[in-house]
């Protein structure tokens, strides 16, 4: 998901730009189908971010360390939290902050999802102080005799609910359930885990419709005032939590989770932002790393500006690939233009027209330039969404913005009832407490030409996103995350050459930053955000071989 803090956007990660909503927040097939039905639209699209061998034993160490060598972190949860027992029960109906809906359906074969809550310190600097409750979900292993332990998933965002995300993709990971309990969670500030709240549904409808690529002084003032207004709402509703929702604390929560689940090692599958969270965990707790996979990898070496610029290039590349595919189908392509460049120019012109005059959307809501850009970006997360993009652009050219608005709504966490999850609020909160960078209006405007040069479609959108944290009430923690993890078990790092939200170069950077003997890079020559669920048997065999059997692929393996 690019990541555009405190504004509308898609998912990749922490850069205050488009909002990286990964496999989870890049709409699931169920979400798209529901919203399309509500909009009265047709269209097809489907979903989308060496450890212990058998019989792991329980650990409830008070400090979470092994012989004083396990961690570079100086904080730890007290024994009453590391030894807590989870009360697993049938999963409730998802909360509004999780996106609403119905309880998860059983997996094939009848295995039911179970949910529990885990207590964690609000402030790890005061581990015996106030606590928060973190929501967890699991599906127990299908073969207890071969069980390795738990496999913990984070699908990205930041801001994506793992409690609703894991069941959405449960069938895709069912083979991994032969040796693991599949586990995920709502990170602090997300979904059911003390969610960050900023504004109500009606206010968010108005906010997401505003112009987030200003063209003159009046629009610039309105944009900055909107950022202040939004951040002020977050402080008013969730001020006590805001300093504590960052990635470092989420990594500490995973270490506590490992102990509470009774696992010697944390076996982990991180996607999109989940790769950065996994990297930070590996840095803090290298000897607790079990078998881990990073898919759709965030580049840990990039600043906010570099990350946003990379996403601009990535989404532009994905749009070009879509346009090439459309042109290759000749008259079957609904869009005007006989070359990819002509189709891209058509998209630019359409957005310019929407900037001047929004068109009919859904009910009394119109499609604005910002929402159209957001909807376009949504469809570039997976090649399977390309038919929706073609249809949405064609309909918008004819004066109907319903489909692109539906796609933008899905990105922003708005359901067919007009209710918003807290995905964007959490995304803003995590991004801004992580990143130290605070850009001024003058600095942002000075960067815009470079952004426009790399992407005529997404450049303004992502360039103006640099202002995303400028009004945030809590300071950021780092310039760049430290993911060095000397002594950790091998971590399989997968890069997709056509990934728009987390460009391919991030995988190589992450593998190198993790350290020699730790980061093992695998390349997938494909399209879309992520690789494991993209349909490549080569990728799935490599991942399954490592997670299930401990077979580390050869570094530099290429899958097509």
246-250: long-range pairs with CB below 8 Å, 24+ = 246/430, 246/433, 246/434, 246/477, 247/14, 247/158, 247/276, 247/277, 247/280, 247/430, 247/434, 247/481, 248/280, 248/284, 248/477, 249/124, 249/188, 250/158, 250/187, 250/188, 250/277, 250/430
Residue 294's SS3 state is strand
Whole-number Å distance between alpha carbons of 319 and 538: 26
What pLDDT was estimated at residue 247?
98
Neighbours of 108 (CB within 10 A): 10
- SS (HEC) of 84-107: CCCCCEECCCCCCCCCCCCCCCCC
DSSP letter for 3, please.
Answer: B
pLDDT of residue 500: 95
Q: What is the mean pLDDT of the chain?
A: 89
Alpha-carbon separation of residue 503 from 299, 340, 436, 513 (angstroms): 8, 21, 22, 16
Strand order across the beta sheet in which 266-271 lies: 89-90, 114-121, 131-139, 180-185, 149-154, 266-271, 289-295, 491-498, 519-527, 557-559
Tens digits of residue pLDDT in 234-289: 999 999 999 999 999 999 999 999 999 999 999 999 999 999 999 999 999 999 99
Q: With a threshold of 0.85, does the pTM exceed it? A: yes
CB contact set of 454 (below 8 Å; sequence gap of 6+): 309, 312, 313, 316
What is the rounded CA–CA span in Å between residue 149 and residue 163?
19
| CA-closest candidate to residue 99, choices 437, 550, 411 | 411
Catalytic residues: 272, 499, 529
Residue 70 is predicted with a pLDDT of 57
pLDDT at 23: 35
Stretches where the chain sits below pLDDT 70 are 1-71
My answer on whether omega of the bond before 414 falls inside 30° of 0, hence cis, is: no
Phi, psi (degrees; rounded to nearest 5) at 295:
-125, 135
Paired strand residues for 557: 522
3-state secondary structure of 398: coil
User: What integer pLDDT is reported at residue 38 of this predicted model?
Assistant: 42
pLDDT at position 71, please? 63
Contact in structure between 151 and 521 (CB atoms under 8 Å) = no
> Which tokens belong to 387?
């038919």
Question: Would you state the pLDDT for residue 72?
Answer: 73
């Amino acid at each position: 998901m690019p990541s555009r803090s405190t504004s509308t956007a898609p998912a990749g990660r922490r850069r205050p730009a488009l909002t990286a909503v990964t496999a989870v927040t890049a709409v699931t097939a169920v979400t798209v189908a529901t919203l399309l039905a509500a909009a009265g639209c047709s269209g097809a699209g489907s979903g989308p971010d060496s450890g212990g061998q058998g019989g792991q034993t329980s650990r409830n160490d008070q400090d979470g360390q092994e012989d004083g060598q396990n961690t570079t972190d100086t904080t730890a949860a007290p024994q009453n939290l590391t030894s807590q027992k989870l009360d697993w029960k049938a999963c409730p109906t998802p909360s509004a902050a999780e996106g609403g809906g119905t309880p998860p359906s059983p997996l094939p074969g009848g295995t039911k999802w179970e949910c529990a809550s885990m207590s964690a310190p609000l402030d790890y600097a005061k581990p015996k102080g106030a606590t928060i409750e973190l929501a967890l979900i699991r599906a127990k292993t299908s073969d207890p005799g071969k069980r390795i332990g738990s496999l913990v998933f984070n699908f990205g965002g930041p801001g994506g609910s793992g409690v609703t995300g894991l069941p959405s993709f449960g069938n895709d990971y069912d083979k991994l359930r032969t040796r693991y309990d599949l586990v995920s969670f709502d990170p602090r500030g997300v979904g059911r885990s003390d969610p960050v709240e900023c504004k109500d549904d009606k206010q968010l409808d108005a906010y997401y419709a505003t112009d987030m690529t200003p063209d003159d002084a009046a629009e610039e003032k309105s944009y900055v005032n909107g950022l202040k207004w939004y951040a002020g709402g977050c402080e008013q509703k969730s001020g006590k939590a805001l300093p504590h929702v960052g990635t470092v604390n989420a990594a500490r929560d995973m270490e506590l989770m490992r102990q509470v689940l009774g696992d010697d090692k944390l076996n982990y599958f991180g996607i999109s932002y989940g790769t950065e969270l996994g990297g930070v965990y590996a840095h803090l707790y290298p000897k607790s790393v079990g078998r881990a996979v990073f898919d759709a990898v965030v580049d840990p070496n990039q600043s906010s500006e570099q990350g946003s610029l990379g996403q601009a290039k990535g989404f532009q590349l994905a749009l070009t690939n879509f346009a090439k595919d459309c042109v290759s189908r000749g008259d079957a392509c609904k869009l005007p233009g006989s070359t990819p460049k002509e189709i891209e120019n058509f998209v630019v012109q359409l957005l310019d027209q929407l900037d001047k005059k929004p068109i009919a959307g859904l009910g009394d809501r119109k499609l604005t330039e910002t929402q159209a850009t957001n909807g376009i970006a949504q469809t570039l997360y997976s090649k399977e969404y390309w038919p929706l993009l073609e249809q949405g652009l064609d309909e918008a050219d004819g004066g109907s913005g319903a489909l692109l608005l539906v796609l933008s709504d899905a990105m922003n966490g708005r359901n067919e009832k007009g209710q918003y999850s807290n995905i964007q609020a959490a995304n803003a909160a995590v991004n801004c407490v992580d990143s130290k960078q605070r850009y001024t209006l003058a600095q942002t405007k000075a960067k815009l030409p470079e952004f426009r040069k790399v992407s005529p479609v997404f450049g303004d959108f992502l360039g103006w996103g640099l202002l995303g944290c400028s009004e945030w009430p809590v300071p950021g923690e780092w310039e760049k995350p430290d993911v060095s993890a000397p002594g950790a078990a091998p971590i399989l790092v997968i890069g997709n050459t056509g990934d728009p939200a987390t460009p391919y170069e991030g995988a190589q950077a992450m593998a190198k930053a993790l350290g020699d003997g730790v980061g093992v890079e695998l390349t997938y020559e494909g399209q879309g955000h992520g690789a494991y669920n993209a349909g490549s048997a080569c990728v799935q065999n490599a991942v399954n071989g490592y997670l299930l059997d401990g077979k580390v692929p050869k570094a530099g393996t290429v899958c097509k």
